[in-house]
Structure 1
């Protein structure tokens, strides 16, 4: 994975298409969330929370908190990159962030901090992460300050 001066790894690359834009002419907030979500699944896979693991174990991940700060608009045709970091890992909880940048200018477009909870899909209750995934996620924890 590629990193920048912040040490954050690239988890998503994409393009802003015209249909992502709203009546204001810039990418609508729903697409920021969608692109951040794609980065989330790449980040989770990096420490073993893969679709295969979720399907075979009867486990899931749910977002319980998400904060987004929009810094600069993105327009149709802009290329975006999302860099991600794990901020905190507890027995059942992972807090992480994503930085969306305009790949051509390097300008920060948006930043989000999310809290996800590992849970049992049958019981619909939180449950501990398996030791292997817990240790792998803990190894990725950084002191990066997302600024929100």
Structure 2
């Protein structure tokens, strides 16, 4: 994954039995869960803005578009490194890139990006990302 001016952060998870589908590998929907779990952890650990604080401020991030390129299957017990980072951010939202590496094989299992828009929780409607928030995420 190419660094584009914003930091790339890494979280680690282990594939659980409930992640496995009838073909004995991780179900495609779980990759979304892995990226969202990593971003949740990274908001607190690296951006110093836990999701709970962000929600208390009256805002939330909603996925507008997601792209996942599945390269190799993951299986039960695999330990994965989920690397994510903001690719672009502006007043309309942000694009977060990711890659999931199988630590056993040292190969990328999937990569892609998510486009997020910010919403005002009280109305459920999209709103502008403030300069202060852009600064917070520009590490």
TM-score by length of 1: 0.80
Question: What is the match of residue 50 of structure 2?
Answer: 50
Gaps of 5+ in 1: 141-148
Give 1:21 deviation, angstroms. 1.2
Question: What is the match of residue 84 of structure 1?
Answer: 84
What is the number of residues matched between the two proteins? 135
Give 1:47 deviation, angstroms. 3.3
Question: What is the match of residue 60 of structure 1?
Answer: 60
C-alpha root-mean-square deviation of aligned residues, in Å?
A: 2.2
Gaps of 5+ in 2: none
CA distance in 1, matches of 2:17, 2:121: 37
Instruction: After superposition, give the CA deviation of every residue in 1:114-141 in whole Å (9 maximum; x if it has no partner).
Output: 010111111222222233221132x34x
CA distance in 1, matches of 2:54, 2:104: 36
CA distance in 1, matches of 2:42, 2:50: 10
CA distance in 2, matches of 1:134, 1:128: 10
TM-score by length of 2: 0.84
